[in-house]
Amino acid sequence: MGETTDRELWARVTAAVSRAVRAVGRRGRECKFADALVVRMYLWAAWHDRPLCWACDRAHYNTLFRPRQLPSVSQFTRRVKTDVARAVLQRVHDDLAARGIATGLSALDGKPLTVSPVSRDRDARRGHVSGGFAKGYKLHAWVTDDGRLPLWAVTPLNADEKTVARLLCESLPEMPPDALALADANFDAAPLHKRVARAGARLLCPLRGQGRTGDGGHHAVTLRQMGAARRELVALWAAKPDLCDHVLHHRNAVERGFSTLTCHGGGLAALPAWVRTIGRVTRWVGAKIILYHARLRAQRAAAKLAAA
């Protein structure tokens, strides 16, 4: 990534933080170190994959960001954990990810965030990963077809994906007509189908534990209890399995944004040694997602300018 794009990325982060701080406000006395400075320092450290103490050293800044004064490590650590900092980070995410804008095609996906199997992290849990089991956490995300991750959550690795997906649905914006959410067979559960349908969309996924023809061996009572949304999916797989396969193939393209989160400098790679416990992991992942959306906006703005 060139310097020009990095400058544009950081300019977008800085502007979003300023807007978020104004929206959140502050009650009580003013602090010596502004909330905007604390949040920018944290995002700067996350961008460079460094711990909090690194951000308190003046030698680690350049012309992109050079604060006049820096808090001590203890001050910075306390301020990062405050409700105000958390609220500002949430607003920055909502701003850069355009959280209130839905697309007609989206996908549900997850990414394991593993730690050492002998880690003493009290919040990490053992859970299934590709090829076996591991210990750690999991990022659950709702990915739009334009590459955004407007909704996400971090849980211990053993959390049920379907349950977390239902919780994400609680924050879905108004969906376009005939919107589809694509997922793998792990998400095929009647309660999730019902919840996605209430949000104005339909969940399209392979049917779990059954064939693709007929009613899948369901009793008439079971078909009635599963709800209209999943009954429609069962009938669709029975009538047009090739069409379902074709549409589900687009999940790879939709989820490309999820993979892009990890494949550039400063992206969400393996959890570093200093990021442990659910609070720190969630904050770290949130910072990485903020930086991802800032980069995405910078790249698209550059591409639009080049095409003009």
Q: What value does the mean pLDDT take over residues 29-37?
A: 90
Q: 195-246, pLDDT tens digit by residue? A: 999 999 999 999 986 644 444 556 676 677 788 999 999 999 989 999 999 9
Under the banding of pLDDT at 50, 70 and 90, the label for residue 3 is: low
Q: 39-58, pLDDT tens digit by residue? A: 999 999 999 999 999 999 99
List of long-range contacts for 123-128, beta carbons under 8 Å, 24+ apart = 123/156, 123/276, 123/277, 123/278, 123/281, 124/156, 124/157, 124/276, 125/156, 125/157, 125/158, 125/159, 126/157, 126/158, 127/156, 127/157, 127/158, 127/159, 128/157
Q: What value does the mean pLDDT take over residues 6-14?
A: 95
Q: Is pLDDT of 160 > 60?
A: yes
Q: Enter the pTM of the model.
A: 0.93
